[in-house]
Amino acid sequence: VDRSPAMKIVFLASEVVPFAKTGGLADVAGALPKALHAMGHDVRVILPRYRAVDLKTFGFRTRPERVSVTLGGQALEGTVYESVIPHTAIPVYAIDQPALFDRDGLYQDKGKDFPDNLQRFSFFSQAGLRAIQQLGWKPDVLHVHDWQTALACAHFAAAQEPFWQSTCTV
């Protein structure tokens, strides 16, 4: 019997089943939190609020927190929505910034990458970190997935904020 203490783990992923999917990343980001939660860990998931993430279908409600990120000297704000992964008690947060995510595709249009993907996912990486702080829930582990959220580790390291002192990144 494993008696290790439960960890608080937040997943930052650009796609998560059943909310948004283009490939295997969404499958992993949807299944791994469930497996860790079943082991007794306190897990949260954050993803962008794409057009495909229907707020009504998934029971999202608006949180009072708003996140503000500066990119290239321009301040961008995002709205935070909260729900749960269906058939679980795992909180999931969708960060909405319509100019960046209100599009038909997640990463591409007609087979061509969106030219502003760097800005889109830099915003999401920073906004995810800010949302966690504003929620007042301090994770032991920040688990990022794929290139879309890798910048969160750089922002995390550069911030050197007391809030993150005991948090590890994966």
pLDDT digits (tens, 9 = 90+) for 42-81: 999 999 999 999 999 999 999 998 999 999 899 999 999 9
Confidence of residue 4 (pLDDT cuts 50, 70, 90): low
Residue burial 71-80, b: 16+ Cβ < 10 Å; e: rest: eeeeebebbb
C-alpha to C-alpha distance for 115 and 70, rounded to whole angstroms: 19
Q: What tokens were used for 147?
A: 């290139």
Q: Mean pLDDT across the chain, nearest whole number?
A: 93
Residue 155 CA to residue 32 CA, distance in Å, equals 24
pLDDT in tens, 108-165: 999 999 999 999 999 999 999 999 999 989 999 999 999 999 999 888 788 778 888 8
Q: What is the pLDDT of residues 22-44, one digit of tens each?
A: 999 999 999 999 999 999 999 99
